[in-house]
Each structure stands twice: as structure tokens, then as C-alpha cells.
């Protein structure tokens, strides 16, 4: 480690993340303040239908005041296995379950100030549930959209898909999905 923690302040304990301010000292003796958003992480799902279409959602995102097209995803519960989170979120947000999950990667979204790590899974052999979506409070704006994979890639290039986790997920799944189309 290249620094020493002098003082830690938890400024906010939130529903989505905690805000921490660390006062650190480098070996040189110089001090610095680091602000950290402590986030439990989450799971992202690339749900692929047999015909190569990807199940995506359209959801209003309050911080940017826009409805965007993105892959289903959700926050990890304390101690939750990321694949279990992915399975839960797939069912809740799309009304589908998958017989096959493959982990594509895990990555830190913004390691300069946030601890959030997302685990990306590709879900195949999908089965539509008779009960449909199980949306939680605050998710009423979610609508399901079936998007041909090539169209989703065009949507990235054209600026219609602007969500980072969705862009990463689609590019990682590209090699596997291309055999569907």
C-alpha cells in the first residue's frame, strides 16, 4: 500500500451506496482526501433468445432524467452470490428465466471514486414465465423490448444505447451471439 489511512468519515449511509471520506497520508508525508462511494456491486444479464434477439429494458433513470435502453441488472444483496442476483433480476425485470448462465466478466464501473463491481452474465435457453415481470416499487417505468443483436450494436454506435454496463455486456457477448444471427 502506498498510503496510510489517517481518518475515515462516513458522511452518508444510503440505500444504494455509502459516502466515505478518507484522509490519507503518502510515504512523503503529504496528505490527501479521497471521497469514496461504497457500493455493494451488482449483476448484469445479457438475455439471448433462440433467434438471437436480446431482451432489453427501457427504464427511466432519475439522475439523468431520461428513459434509456439497457440490459437487465440489479444490486447485490448483502452476501448474495452474483449469479443468484442475475437469476433474480432476470425474472423480476423481464419475466423470463434461463436454463443456462455463463459468466462473461466482472469489472469496476468507476474505480476512481466508487467500489461498484458488476458481474456480467449471458443467459440463454430462456423460458417465459406465465406470471410475467415482477417489478419492484420504483420500477414501474420498466418496459421490455426484444432487440435484434445487430440492431443493438447499431444503437450503441448511434448513441441510442448510452449505458456503460449495457455496452460492455453486448460487446462481450458479441462472439457468442453472432452464431444466432
Mean pLDDT, residues 97-111 taken together: 96
Of 42-56, 75-89, 127-141, 155-169, least confident by mean pLDDT is: 127-141
Mean pLDDT, residues 141-166 taken together: 94
pLDDT above 70: percentage of residues in the chain: 96
Mean pLDDT, residues 147-152 taken together: 95
43 DSSP β-pair partners: 74, 119
So what's the pLDDT on residue 178? 64
Residue 39 predicted with pLDDT over 90: yes
Please name which of 37, 38, 35, 27 lies closest in space to residue 4, comparing C-alpha atoms. 27
Q: 42-177 adopts what CATH topology? A: Nucleoside Triphosphate Pyrophosphohydrolase (3.90.79)
Question: What's the rounded Cα separation, in Å, for the pair 167 and 173?
Answer: 10
Catalytic residues: 137
Amino acid at each position: 500500500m502506498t498510503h496510510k489511512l489517517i481518518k475515515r468519515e462516513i458522511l452518508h449511509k444510503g440505500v444504494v451506496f455509502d459516502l466515505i471520506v478518507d484522509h490519507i497520508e503518502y510515504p512523503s508525508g503529504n496528505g490527501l482526501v479521497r471521497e469514496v462511494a461504497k457500493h455493494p456491486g451488482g449483476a448484469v444479464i445479457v438475455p439471448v433468445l433462440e433467434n438471437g434477439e436480446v431482451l432489453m429494458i427501457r427504464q427511466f433513470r432519475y439522475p439523468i432524467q431520461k428513459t434509456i435502453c439497457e440490459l437487465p441488472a440489479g444490486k447485490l444483496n448483502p452476501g448474495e452470490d452474483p449469479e443468484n442476483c442475475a437469476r433474480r433480476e432476470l425474472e423480476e425485470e423481464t419475466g423470463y428465466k434461463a436454463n443456462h448462465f455463463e459468466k462473461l466478466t466482472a469489472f469496476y464501473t468507476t474505480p476512481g471514486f466508487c467500489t461498484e463491481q458488476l458481474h456480467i452474465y449471458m443467459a440463454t435457453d430462456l423460458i417465459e414465465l406465465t406470471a410475467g415481470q415482477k417489478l419492484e416499487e420504483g420500477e414501474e417505468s420498466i418496459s421490455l423490448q426484444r432487440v435484434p443483436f445487430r440492431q443493438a450494436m447499431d444503437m450503441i454506435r448511434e448513441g441510442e444505447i448510452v449505458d456503460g454496463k449495457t455496452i460492455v455486456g453486448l460487446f462481450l457477448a458479441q462472439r457468442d451471439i453472432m452464431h444466432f444471427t
